[in-house]
Amino acid sequence: MPSEIIVKNKTNIVSKTAQNLIGSEIIKLAGEIKDKISKGEKIYNLTIGDFDSNLFPIPSEFREEIIKAYRLNETNYPDASGVYDLRNAVSGYLAKFGKLQYNADEILISAGARPLIFSMYQTLIDKDDKIIYPVPSWNNNHYSYLSHAQVIEIETKAENKFMPLASELEPYLKDATLLALCSPLNPTGTMFDKDELEEICDLILEENNRRGSDKKPLYLMYDQIYWALTFGETKHHNPVTLRPEMKNYTIFIDGMSKAFAATGVRVGWASGPAEIISKMKAILTHIGAWAPKPEQIAAAKYLSNHEAVSSYISKMNERVQFRLLKFHMGFQQLKNEGFPVDSVAPEGAIYLTVKLQLKGFQTDDGFILETGKDISEFLINTAGVGLVPFSAFGANNHDWFRLSVGTCPSSDIEPILLNIKNALKTLSF
């Protein structure tokens, strides 16, 4: 017998699912930037939806409770649904700040939002079921692929803040199993207006009434992981408070990652119909995607301290909004000076939507910019600034980009804008 097996056909060494799976375009871009930085290049990395924990530390009360839980050796397996005290605390948090009524049995804890989204897709979707989601949006294409679903992508428009309209969704709702929405939206930092979300909810309710009880319902995944980060007079709306009947069909995705700058702490939760939550839990038991028990115990105590929560979120919003508005005003100034740029006023999350209408422009070495990737690479190499093109979120428009402020010191904003301005001056048309 030969000592080693020579594989002649590399495409047959993994499953077809693995062979055709596309990795995160955002993580790939961020990795390329980090590699350049490690080699000594000065690049302002505004790509990843994360926080510099030195700029945005988690709440001090939360941190102390985590340390305390480790000192008390709370390091064994947590309950599969999540520590009861945490599920109860999340219930109170949602009631206090979101006007949502979910008991502990309707809440599932996981290691951040991603396992929850994956388990929800696996719970609801059969092979070739139809999934509807707008683009740009985060990762729905990948979760749909892993679920072997049929995909219906709705290309949204800048004039609508890249939020989908009920009229755009309506033609595709018949026979669909899932509508996946997010507000505040990653990547745009924009949100649903109350009237528009009400119209969407009414369409879902009408469709489910049409189907009756003998067919699988049309469900709504409502990703509101950024909902506590909203600015000015903008108000976050959710389907269940607007239309209580939607509670039968809505699965919320939520957690501590964004509002509390706790991306690495990995405490997320889903809330929804108890029978759906129970099946999601069953799937996660086979994955083991539980949030660490010390972090769960700490989160339970922290989230129950509503005064501390309110204070932290208020200060967090101020600091994030300051950065977003300063960038927005900077791009508006560049626009007023005649540069082919624009931005959409931020409403929530940690993102600014930026327009760089540079297709057809020529760099000083003769290269003609054609795609979002071309423009992104031009910014990195010439301005030393990393932004994510909307093409990484499934959109076909090459003019729009996501700018993330979670790792940006406020003192860097003016140098970044100046670098972009100077880079734009090198282009010719």
pLDDT tens digits, 281-308: 999 999 999 999 999 999 999 999 999 9
Number of CB atoms found within 10 A of residue 99's CB? 10
Q: Are residues 376 and 358 in the same domain?
A: yes
Domain of 296, in residue numbers: 60-305
Q: What is the CATH number of the domain that holds 158?
A: 3.40.640.10
* Cβ atoms of 376 and 173 closer than 8 Å: no
What pLDDT was estimated at residue 29?
Answer: 86
Q: Are residues 341 and 264 in the same domain?
A: no
Q: Are residues 183 and 299 in the same domain?
A: yes
The number of domains in the chain is 2
What pLDDT was estimated at residue 217?
Answer: 97
* Cβ atoms of 359 and 399 closer than 8 Å: yes
Q: Are residues 214 and 351 in the same domain?
A: no
Q: Are residues 111 and 27 in the same domain?
A: no
Output the average pLDDT for the chain. Answer: 95
Q: Tens of pLDDT along 323-332?
A: 999 999 999 9
What pLDDT was estimated at residue 37?
Answer: 87
- Predicted TM-score of the model (pTM): 0.94
Q: Does residue 369 sit within a domain?
A: yes
Q: Does residue 374 carry a pLDDT above 50? A: yes
What pLDDT was estimated at residue 72?
Answer: 98
Q: Does residue 4 sit within a domain?
A: no
How far is the C-alpha of 359 from the C-alpha of 401, rounded, in Å? 13
Q: Are residues 184 and 251 in the same domain?
A: yes
Q: Does residue 6 sit within a domain?
A: no
Q: Tens of pLDDT along 60-119?
A: 999 999 999 999 999 999 999 999 999 999 999 999 999 999 999 999 999 999 999 999
Q: Does residue 300 sit within a domain?
A: yes
Q: Are residues 367 and 284 in the same domain?
A: no
Domain boundary among 282, 305, 328: 305
Average of per-residue pLDDT across 231-248: 95
Band of the pLDDT at 3, cuts 50, 70, 90? very low
Q: What is the CATH number of the domain that holds 337?
A: 3.90.1150.10
Q: What angle do CA 53, 55, 58 make, to 5 degrees?
A: 45
What pLDDT was estimated at residue 11?
Answer: 60
What pLDDT was estimated at residue 10?
Answer: 60
Domain boundary among 271, 305, 339: 305
Band of the pLDDT at 1, cuts 50, 70, 90? very low
Say whether the peptide bond before residue 340 is cis (omega within 30 degrees of 0): no
Average of per-residue pLDDT across 255-280: 98
Band of the pLDDT at 2, cuts 50, 70, 90? very low
Q: Does residue 2 sit within a domain?
A: no
Domain boundary among 274, 305, 336: 305
What pLDDT was estimated at residue 226?
Answer: 98
* Cβ atoms of 142 and 168 closer than 8 Å: no
Q: Are residues 49 and 71 in the same domain?
A: no
Q: Does residue 21 carry a pLDDT above 90? A: no
Indicate the helix (H) or strand (E) that contains 131.
Answer: strand 130-135
Q: Does residue 5 carry a pLDDT above 80? A: no
Q: Are residues 259 and 395 in the same domain?
A: no
Average of per-residue pLDDT across 172-193: 97
CA nearest 239: which of 203, 288, 290, 282? 203
Q: Does residue 264 sit within a domain?
A: yes
Q: State whether residue 220 is helix, strand or coil.
A: strand
Q: Are residues 34 and 79 in the same domain?
A: no
* Cβ atoms of 78 and 291 closer than 8 Å: yes
Q: Tens of pLDDT along 376-395?
A: 999 999 999 999 999 999 99
What pLDDT was estimated at residue 9?
Answer: 55
The rounded radius of gyration (Å) of the Cα atoms in the chain is: 22
Q: Does residue 7 sit within a domain?
A: no
CA nearest 283: which of 128, 143, 149, 115? 115
Number of CB atoms found within 10 A of residue 350's CB? 28
Q: Tens of pLDDT along 328-360?
A: 999 999 999 999 999 999 999 999 999 999 999
Q: Are residues 110 and 225 in the same domain?
A: yes
Q: Does residue 108 sit within a domain?
A: yes
Look at strands 400-404 and 385-386 and give their pairing: unpaired
Q: Are residues 331 and 343 in the same domain?
A: yes
